[in-house]
Amino acid sequence: MSSDRIEQKTFLLLLVIVTLAFGWILLPFYGAVFWAVVLAVIFGPLQRRLALRIGGRGNLSALITLLICLTVAILPVIAITSMLVSEGTVIYQRIESGELDVGAYVEQTKAMLPGSVQTQLDRFGLGDFDAVRDRIAKGALAGSQFLATKAFSIGQDTFQFVIGFFLMLYLLYFFLRDGPELVRTVRTAIPLVDTQKRRLQIKFTRVVRATVKGNIVVAAVQGALGGVIFWILGIPSPLIWGVLMAFLSLLPAVGCGIVWVPVALYLLLSGQMVQGVVLVLFGVLVIGLVDNILRPLLVGKDTRMPDYLILISTLGGLTLFGLNGFVIGPLIAALFIACWDLYSSSKRTVRLP
């Protein structure tokens, strides 16, 4: 083996080790780095249009874009999270003190069911409402306790949160200002054919924008609509229900209907016919149609993945990366498909005479 080849392999090994070490250093703040990249991809076109309008001043256009991003995307999320944790703390205290008895609602629902329905449920082994009541009560207590403990953990980890938050803003400013140059540098370093690098870059950009603009915006709209109709109908804790519907709407096989449908049935069975009918009509005609109308406009056909793939990648991303997995999971799945598509297309090209 020649000395040049040994030096090349040694350098590649050193490059891999240094890259892994750098990634290990960034690991505690991977969320801040990841969301800085995602927001830079989303708001990059706005920054470039502003730069053209103000004479190519990159620093000023990046600062204005950062302020717009902070106002439109970041501060509302922080405000809603704070309100959610506060409301979860109140609910946990009410459940623990016995003021809010979740099991009583289950018992009341059981009593409202017709006798024939109860008989059919017993025949299929689904009539043990005592076990269902206990599970629901424990689940409600655990969920509210989780939100309540988040209030204390956020207080304890305030320093780390503040560092991560300002690190994200700091990186986002430079990613907005120097984004095109950084992209060119990364593309030059990747050892692939130019056409493959360009296709991967386009796929990555489209998937990030489609995931954030499509999935998250649609989820936010559906959750907001659900929370508003719950508030209008006088259903307790509309903020928590709205946030829950927003999260569930990200899962195509589940959807936010798993929240409003049981509530509508409860209203109808309890004799609140007007509220129940209003909720059913609003859920079907408004909340249900938001996905069919907004998602094609925001996502587009070229980045649309099968629903089963979105479901699996979202659940897997949640398990591995927490809340960040709502974006990371589908992003990895889309890049996986893109890479294998590039590989298969290159193999077909080689086989051509």
| 170 and 229 assigned to the same domain | no
> Is the distance from CB of 92 to CB of 149 less than 8 angstroms?
no
Q: Is it the case that residue 301 has pLDDT exceeding 70?
A: no
Question: Would 73 be classed as within a structural domain?
Answer: yes
Q: What pLDDT score was predicted for residue 41?
A: 84
- The DSSP H or E segment spanning 11 is helix 3-26
CA distances from 213 to 42, 147, 204, 208, 239 (A): 8, 27, 14, 8, 22
Query: Of 189, 205, 223, which marks where a domain is finished?
Result: 189
Task: Identify whether residues 160 and 241 lie together within a single domain.
Answer: no
pLDDT in tens, 317-327: 888 887 778 77
Q: Is the pLDDT of residue 137 over 60?
A: no
DSSP string, 112-164: HS-HHHHHHHHHTT---HHHHHHHHHHHHHHHHHHHHHHHHHHHHTHHHHHHH
**What's the pLDDT score for residue 288?**
81
Q: What's the average model confidence in pLDDT over 114-136? A: 56
Residue 273 pLDDT: 86
Average pLDDT over residues 76-105: 67
Residue 162 lies in a domain: yes
Say whether both 182 and 276 belong to one domain. no
Q: Is residue 280 part of a domain?
A: yes
Is residue 126 one of the residues assigned to a domain?
no
Domain count, the chain: 2
Based on the fold, state whether residues 281 and 337 are members of the same structural domain: yes
| pTM exceeds 0.75 | no
Q: Give the residue with greater pLDDT, 83 vs 116.
A: 83
Residues 200 and 231 in one domain: yes
Q: Say yes or no to pLDDT of 251 above 80.
A: no
Check whether 238 has a pLDDT greater than 80: yes
Measured CA to CA, the distance from residue 194 to residue 155 in angstroms comes to 48
Residue that terminates a domain, selected from 128, 161, 189:
189
Q: Compute the distance between CA of residue 317 and CA of residue 328 in angstroms, rounded to an integer.
A: 6
Average pLDDT, the chain: 75
pLDDT at 169 over 80: yes
User: Do 185 and 279 fall within a single domain?
Assistant: no
Which tens digit of pLDDT belongs to each residue from 95-120?
666 665 555 555 666 566 666 655 65
Q: Which domain holds residue 174?
A: 29-100+144-189
Same domain assignment for residues 341 and 257: yes
